[in-house]
Amino acid sequence: MRPIVQISLDLTNITEAIETAHMAMRAGVDWLEAGTPLILAEGLHGVRALRAEFPDTPIVADLKTMDGGYLEAQMMAQAGATHVVVMARAHEETIRCVVNAGRDFGVKVMGDNMVCPDMVDGAKWLEDLGCDFVIHHIGYDERRGIAARGSRMPSPMDQLREVCDAVKVPVQAVGGLSIEQAIACPAHGAPLVVLGAPLTIDAESFKTADGDLESSLRMICDAVHAHNDSA
């Protein structure tokens, strides 16, 4: 799979999300993500607005589904999402329901292994149940809480190679990556590079980060896409 750059629109209003999405697309981003904060704030209206504004762009709805899997996936698909996210810690039947809805409504399913006791086993579990992608994810609260207590902040890079080696589906690493780590993901076997907080979104306020964000995004996109040229 060629490297893909996805921006997570972890914002709380659709106007800013659309402005950020336009800037990201100019910079070379491939996929848009309606991040969890945006879905909480705007719901299906936010996904519909993104689809109306970007009719040909893949849109990931980061629902973090834990129950009601079929209906949630159906609703997001009908609103214009092309990808939905279900959690590995959901019941097996919920994951199966999301996978079934994905097949019925033509959307891809991304399974998230966040807070699995064994992250590699969680990734394999998601693949076995039919997920099209694996998100290898260290959560926001987990990272910040552990660091605040003086311990080393965990990173998805810690086990990224093991996860990629354990599954055949494409993998995405999520959770506090630096720019250098994000760019290196394809070299570790993870072709889906997601850019969100803190790279593009202020993790404290969930607003667009300050600075020349478009230039930074263009540099990241060029570097990630270059992996394909050198492969």
Positive/negative CA dihedral, 225, 31, 65, 1:
negative
- What sign for the dihedral angle of Cα 181, 46, 26, 208? negative
Say if residues 102 and 70 touch (Cβ distance below 8 Å).
Answer: no
Least confident of 34-43, 116-125, 180-189, 207-216: 207-216
- CA 158 and chain centroid, separation: 18
Convert the pLDDT of each residue in 160-209 to its tens digit.
Answer: 999 999 999 999 999 989 889 999 999 999 999 999 855 655 445 444 55
User: How many Å apart are CA 163 and CA 157, to the nearest integer?
Assistant: 10
The superfamily in CATH containing domain 4-230 is Aldolase class I (3.20.20.70)
pLDDT at 125 over 60: yes
Rounded to two decimals, the pTM is 0.92
Enumerate the domain spans of the chain.
4-230
Residue 55 has pLDDT above 90, yes or no: yes
Q: pLDDT tens, 62-104?
A: 999 999 999 999 999 999 999 999 999 999 999 999 999 999 9
pLDDT at position 206, please?
40
